[in-house]
Amino acid sequence: MWKFLIAAVSILTGRVAYAAPCEDLSKLALSNTAIVMVQTVEAGQFTAPATGAQNSDFRDLPAFCRVAATVRPSADSDIRIEVWLPISSWNGKFQGVGNGGYAGAINPGPLANALRRGYAAAQTDTGHAGDGRDAGFAFGHREKLIDFGHRAVHEMTVKAKAIMKAFYDSNPKLSYWVGCSTGGRQALAEAQMYPDDYDGIVAGAPGNNTAQLALHALAIAQASHTSEASYIPPSLYSFIHKVVLEVCDGLDGVKDGVLENPKTCKFDPQVLECRSGADRSNCLTPVQVETARTIYDPSRNPHIRQPLSLGLAPGSELGWSTMAGPEPFFYADQFWKYMVFGDPKWDYKTLNAERDMPRAADEARSRGDAADPNLKPFFSRGGKLLQYHGWSDQNIPPDNSINYYNRVLETVGRPTATDGYRLFMVPGMAHCGGGEGPNTFDMLGALEQWQEHGKPPDQIIASRVTNGRVERTRPLCPYPQVAGYKGSGSTDEAANFVCKAP
């Protein structure tokens, strides 16, 4: 009788039929889980917790059931999750959303974006509280480190689906994951370790090879601070970037302030070296030239004897303060301090690759690093993976994504990978967004078309939007293809470009 009444009300109000009222979810029993809050949020009435977000950002949200829970799969686990369930117009699907940095909080922004598209959605703090820049939670807490590495996201996914089943009396017909940076690493960890969790995955700029990436970052920091003279001040970044564009911008056939394919840019920082008597506000000293070379190629750092292949790409210069600024990149520094050496006083200048890298690699693997290229179990069940990476990424070298993509192709075979995997490199985009190139695009929409309608993306249109106005559109092409100008029409319109072999 109760379900009949609910169904009748749903017809009259437009609300989706559910198995129980939102508040009844407080009584739901799930293994290792405590439901700590259940709240019906009326349309436009969501108030963000102390995140700095303005309520006006959420006034367009539909009514939803908000569930918060704590999951404890181990004695030292304390994983917080939130699940947002649309009360009306549920599209029948579930979206897991990723984190950034070292996580430590639940961000309502990505949950709201999923809700706007009709998804039920969930996010986790990955098992600890923090501001995303501090890995101190890992010091002496092996289980929390495992939670952060992979277990928290899997637990969140399993528990969110159970909560959805209880609320809607239905499992999601499809489940998608969307994340960038740490969220991109989480995406690949899900595909590798829990291939049944998601039907489709968007992995942006994944930091999925933590030990190697942390080594690269500190190689750049060491080179930048070998001496006071080796440091390149931020005031010179725009000058270096301008010279890079002068040398390489036209190689793709269009001078537009963006490098379509930085791989073709054979830029030698030697051209930046000051001539005798030159004004040093627009040139580099010889030792600064060597620092620049290390930024592009960390294997040049004399402190890092192990050959390395990854560096920041030409075109990334405006964001060099992340790796080559006054302080080392926080993510890398915290990784070595707390996850490798367990020493808050450890000094990055003492890092020695030959001595320390094996220990770091073992640590990364033990907590569930996401570098395994064997995605056969995920692909075999029809899973689809879209990965993207900005060519001007200042946090995670873009070659990291290219290297992983190539390793997957070698491991599973090109036909299998082609059926389920696409990589899109984004010219001019910085880490997960921003930058000088078109950086607004709908990866999830492309993934939906592929998974639900069998239409693999042969291109994805990206836009550059300034003050609400679209200034430029450009096709993003599946790697290794690049966008080539057809030779006529505006170079600010995607229709005048075609994806082709480089």
Catalytic: 393? Answer: yes
- Sign of the dihedral defined by the CA atoms of residues 348, 354, 356, 360, in that order: positive
Residues 6 or more apart in contact with residue 228 via CB below 8 angstroms: none
Show the CA angle centred on residue 492, arms to residues 490 and 498, nearest 5°: 80
Question: What CA dihedral angle connects 487, 437, 391 and 225, to 10 degrees?
Answer: 130
Output 246-254 pairs: Cβ under 8 A, ≥24 positions apart: 247/271, 248/314, 248/315, 252/482, 252/484, 252/485, 253/484, 253/485, 254/485, 254/491
Task: Identify the active-site residue in 199, 256, 333, 393.
Answer: 393
Any residues with CB less than 8 A from the CB of 460 and at least 6 apart, and which? 424, 441, 442, 443, 446, 475, 476
State both tokens at 41. Answer: 């949020």
Q: Catalytic annotation on 431?
A: yes
Beta-strand relationship, 200-204 and 174-180: parallel
| Alpha carbon distance 389, 180 (integer Å) | 9
Rounded Cα distance, 295 and 217, in Å:
9
* Residue for token pair 């009222």: 21
Catalytic residue chosen out of the listed positions 181, 230, 316, 392: 181
Q: Residues 166, 168, 171, 172: what is their CA dihedral angle, to the nearest 10 degrees? A: -130
Dihedrals phi, psi of 420, to nearest 5 degrees: -140, 5
CB atoms within 10 A of CB 462: 25
CB 408 within 8 A of CB 372: no
d(C-alpha 319, C-alpha 439), whole Å: 15
The residues annotated as belonging to the active site are 181, 393, 431
